[in-house]
Structure 1
Amino acid sequence: MSAAGGRALVVGEALVDIVRRTDGSVSEHPGGSPANVALGLARLGRTAELLTWLGDDAHGDLVRAHLEGDGVRVLRGDRVPAATSTAAATLDTEGGATYDFELEWDLPATWDSSDETAPVVVHTGSIAAVLPPGGEAVARLLAEHRATSTVTYDPNLRPALMAAPAVTLPLVEALVAQADVVKVSDEDLAWLMPGVAPAEIAEDWVRRGPAVVVVTHGGEGAFACTAAGDRLAIAAENVEVADTVGAGDSFMSGLIDGLWSAGLLGADRRDALRAIDAATLEQVLVRCVRIAAITVSRPGANPPTSAELGEG
């Protein structure tokens, strides 16, 4: 599988974010962590397909129009939920978001893709990776694709929807062991394993199988460790924050896209990815930080295009 072209398959929830701001205003925006990753990849010029669980209702139409308008292929399955899921995000004075969900997650048994070749990369994360009944189907799908595709994973945890950390941690670590690339926030790690240093967890996770584990620290930048033994710290860019919605997802899109551009995605490139050198990874991560900075500088999950990055 060559990484020169091809497509990304993103598996996970797409929903409608209902954003409540401190001034009392309320707005509705398509969202969901995996959907945001697919959107970010499409805006960076990649062919991105999203396998998700959308209802045939007004909210579902809103999500489909939003994603397809930027070129994401929203795959059609053999069955759909009664209603599209929603997430109410309440913003604080610093732009941080807390969430309240009305969500159902599953996968269709079959779906239509315009491309029968194996994807270069399969990404999942957040609610879709751990919430039953769909979580089990996601884990099976990842296992099926490892022979042909790079697997990437972002836990992007939602404690309000998930079981206690002691129950969720084994599910997360099983997915970490399947993944080639993991991106996780320091907030996720603090909830999963309170009191344990994020770098210590990253070191443990990279020994479980991934080639690269990246920990994001919000305004403090990011830390990465690799199976090849490199350790990197990347500073964040100083920007005025509108809100943090979608920042981690845009970072994840940039990480996938950057490794793709470096020729390191596809199952036949797994050994090369495991041998990634520090200079290449640093270049990728600096661009990820820039992508995230642009996203937080404007409201909502609104990742930049290649043109906005000065790349085309």
Structure 2
Amino acid sequence: MAEHVLAVGEALVDVVRRPDGSTSEHPGGSLANVALTLGRLGRPVRLATWLGPDARGGTVRSWLAESGVVLADGSDGAERTSVAQATLDASGSATYEFDLTWQVPDGAAAGAETLAVHTGSIAAMLEPGAAQVRRLVQDARATSTVTYDPNARPVLMGAPEEARPRIEELVGLADVVKVSDEDLAWLAPETAPLDVARAWVHDLGASVVVVTFGGAGATAVARSGEVTVASRKVDVVDTVGAGDSFMGALLDGLWSADLLGADRRESLRAVPLETLEHLLERCAAVAAVTVSRAGANPPWADELTHTSPDAPAGTGAAPTQDTEEVR
């Protein structure tokens, strides 16, 4: 495969339960959603995941293939495809329960043409795959940018004091981290989110940490300083996959800025704030489309072509009063 991003982690089926009692099934999973976003934005992307030979696995494989996502060898080795139960409240926010297994397939290794390796969420915490992820990330640093999104799932990750050392170990291996304020409130409830991000940059060694604040926007903390952008205003259908589409757009933007690859690590450390601001605005546009429609359904590149900074991406319409929730 030519130059590409390798995403390592879960692909599954989201069973969504809505406040009116209706239920629907959508392919999803944090790392699958990131890969899907990259594929729809026109980037070559490979996903190392763990799917079963069942009907749900077939649905996930078709969904990914339609957006140009290539599965790493061995990604079909599970006995059955994992399921996440997502229960939506009246605002569209989701809480999750999981029935899943995870391990890294044999074909997951990064190579010379892997510009970036992205991981996080369940895949980075659930054994036996989590230990395999950490080894893969350590090896990948020789050739690739490493990006990480903790995307915390407390029901699977245990107490925050148990999860935090493992999360911060991966932060220390990462070049770029995307994390939500909700994740940080769970992980470090007595510390302001941006103070955690600053520590991750200045103490743990990340080049850039982006903190998303739902309708309040997002802030990037870098060695060169900090920059904040506002969220787009849209009618929220649900927030499933919004943070993952933001992450996929961030990788897409870093690629456009020629900041991916181990040989670009020093340039990434010195990234200008103007560049980061541009990247975050693009991420906000992508996430706004995702929350405006049901399920993890990020935009295609041509949906973002004719938007202005003040209009919801993909529509050209005036902003509404309901803000997006990007976590």
**TM band (smaller chain):** over 0.9
Counterparts of 1:193 and 1:300, CA distance in 2: 29
Tell me the SS of whatever aligns to 2:119: strand
Tell me the SS of whatever aligns to 1:45: coil
**Equivalent residue, structure 1, for 2:126:** 131
**Equivalent residue, structure 1, for 2:221:** 225
Spell out the pairing of 1:1-312 with structure 2 (5 A cutoff): 6-77=3-74, 80-108=77-105, 110-111=106-107, 117-207=112-202, 208-228=204-224, 230-310=225-305
Counterparts of 2:76 and 2:149, CA distance in 1: 26
Q: Which moved more, 1:5-14 or 1:88-97?
A: 5-14
Give CA-to-partner distance per residue, 1:96-148, whole Å, 9 cap, x none: 0011110111112x2289x9643000000100001111000000000011010
Counterparts of 1:95 and 1:153, CA distance in 2: 25
Give the ranges of 4+ consecutive aligned residues of structure 1 lying more than 3 Å apart after TM superposition: 115-118
Query: Are 2:53 and 2:76, in contact at CA under 8 Å, matched by a contact in 1?
Result: no
Tell me the SS of whatever aligns to 1:308: helix
Give CA-to-partner distance per residue, 1:163-183, whole Å, 9 cap, x none: 211110000000000000000
Judging changes above 3 Å, is the alpha-carbon distance between structure 1 residues 266 and 112 closer, same or farther for their aligned structure 2 residues? Answer: closer
Question: Percent identity among equivalent residues?
Answer: 58
Residue type at the aligned position of 1:111: G
Counterparts of 1:112 and 1:283, CA distance in 2: 31
Counterparts of 1:288 and 1:120, CA distance in 2: 19
Tell me the SS of whatever aligns to 1:195: coil
Gaps of 5+ in 1: none
Shift of 1:76: 2.6
TM-score, length of structure 1 as denominator length: 0.95
Counterparts of 1:298 and 1:9, CA distance in 2: 26
Pairwise CA RMSD of aligned residues? 1.5
Counterparts of 2:27 and 2:201, CA distance in 1: 33
| Paired residue total | 304
Counterparts of 1:251 and 1:99, CA distance in 2: 20
